[in-house]
Structure 1
Amino acid sequence: MYLKTISELAEDDGLVPISALAERLGVSTVSATEMVHRLREQGLLDHTPYKGVALTDDGDRRACRIIRRHRLWECFLTDHLGLPWQQVHDFACQLEHATADEVTEALAVFLDNPPTCPHGNPIPDAEWIVPALVDQPLNEWKPGDRGTITRIHPESILLLDYLAARHIEPGQPVTFTEVAPFNGPLMMQIGDQTHALGREIAAHIYGIRTDE
């Protein structure tokens, strides 16, 4: 769980502060610090005091291995069991740790090697390599930009529930219409509806502009 979470948080911020890691996992800073010490002793991460942690090459490979299992299970639960895309993250968290590599690869073949999970995030390949990402969070877009939502990152049940209730999901066309006055919310046309997105939420919704 720690390695996967560090990998996901590092995508946005590089070094991951221990406080951010603890908050994301719902544990105390003391518990997170103890686990960071153990993982560093195992050669899975580096810790820069007062700045944060980063995965070593070995740690990154192990994280990608877990992420591959997790996102394949999300695809299976959504596509073959019919579970809503906003609910499968927590179930996949439980399954990822009980899945052998042989089962993971059989699952990938059964699913016809999907490139992304239901939330649009890339699935590492069988060599645990993640393709380069070229999308940007919507809070970095400018009024007049238009494109397509690609993914929701990082995934959390509260965020996914909020977005699903508003039909904001990967594949939807999006146009940034304006910024509300006084540093207000970002006004977005998503599908056939207009949404006022807070900047924190917009930072978790990624898209590719049509001019890219």
Structure 2
Amino acid sequence: MSESVEMYLVMTALLRSAPDQPVPLSLLASKLGVSQVSANEMCHRLEERGLLSYQPYKGVTLTPDGEEWAQRILSRRRLWVIFLVENLGIDPEEADTLACQLEHITSERLVAALKAFLERDPEARSSINRTPQPLTACTAGMRGVVATIDVEPAAAAFLAQQGVVPGADVGVLAVGIDGAVLLQVDDYQVALASALAGRITLAAGSAAHTARQAAWRRCSAFWSCVRGEAPPCPIESVADESEVAALARR
């Protein structure tokens, strides 16, 4: 199935206000960034394939086959969101945007591999992510809590003035080739030389852990379907703003 077809099915699922409520073609076209004529032609083709049902002057609804496909695509997205947030420390909103792209190129073999990986004990994976590591070993985009600072008193005093103290929530904005690190501390930035950054360790703390748990809760219904632990669950009837925005940009 082409990415274009998948986008029509997913967007129809996200825009509907109820499972059997038609989505107006004008709204569907607007969110997908295509003309209403193009949307009309595509929807008729998908109706011929048994994926959409078109009602004149009302809009389109998903058929059972279309529902199954849309649910499968969105399940892939939830797998990627969980993986990106829990294991790479990516912000959930950014992970949504990336997952929207990845869902279309994810093979069944990769789905199986992601499922197997994510079915490991979440707490065990989180404990690995919370293991402190030097700032020089971190990557841009990571957030966490300063775990230890092993520097001379003068350097410790300088860091304290910048808000870099054990227990502080910080974000890694950039890591240079030479190991220099640019940190986000509250609403300002702190540049650290490699020698200093290497003596500071960062661990996933409350902020990062909360983000992972939020992503997990957001994906829980689809995750249950993917694992076969529950009957096929309905796709969300009301579109999440970040999901619609990400889809509309495609």
- Cα distance per residue 1:30-77 (max 9 Å; x no partner): 221111111111110100000010011111111111011011111111
3-12 vs 88-97, greater mean Cα deviation: 3-12
Q: State the partner residue of 1:71.
A: 78
Q: How many residues align?
A: 143
Q: Contact (CA 8 Å) 2:31, 2:244: kept in 1 or not? A: no
Residue 105 of structure 1: CA displacement?
Answer: 2.4
Identify the match of residue 82 of structure 1 among 89, 100, 117. Answer: 89
1:10 pairs with 2:16? yes
Q: Which runs of 4+ in 1 moved over 4 A?
A: 113-119, 157-160
Q: State the partner residue of 1:182.
A: none
* Gap runs ≥5 in structure 1: 137-151, 161-212
Q: State the partner residue of 1:123.
A: 222
- Cα distance per residue 1:84-141 (max 9 Å; x no partner): 11111221111111111121122122112899855725316136822698xx9xxxxx
Q: CA RMSD in A?
A: 3.2
Identify the match of residue 52 of structure 2 among 45, 48, 52. Answer: 45
Paired with 1:58 and 1:132, the residues of 2 have a C-alpha distance of: 13
Q: Whose helix proportion is higher, 1 or 2?
A: 2
Secondary structure in 2 aligned to 1:16?
Answer: coil
Aligned amino acid, residue 16 of structure 2:
A
Give the structure-2-normalised TM-score: 0.50
1:61-210 superposed matches below 5 A: 61-112=68-119, 117=215, 120=218, 122-123=221-222, 125-126=225-226, 129-130=232-233, 153-156=239-242
Q: Contact (CA 8 Å) 2:25, 2:60: kept in 1 or not? A: yes
Q: Contact (CA 8 Å) 1:18, 1:33: kept in 2 or not? A: yes
* Gap runs ≥5 in structure 2: 1-6, 123-212
Q: Kindly name which structure, 1 or 2, has the bigger radius of gyration based on alpha carbons.
A: 2
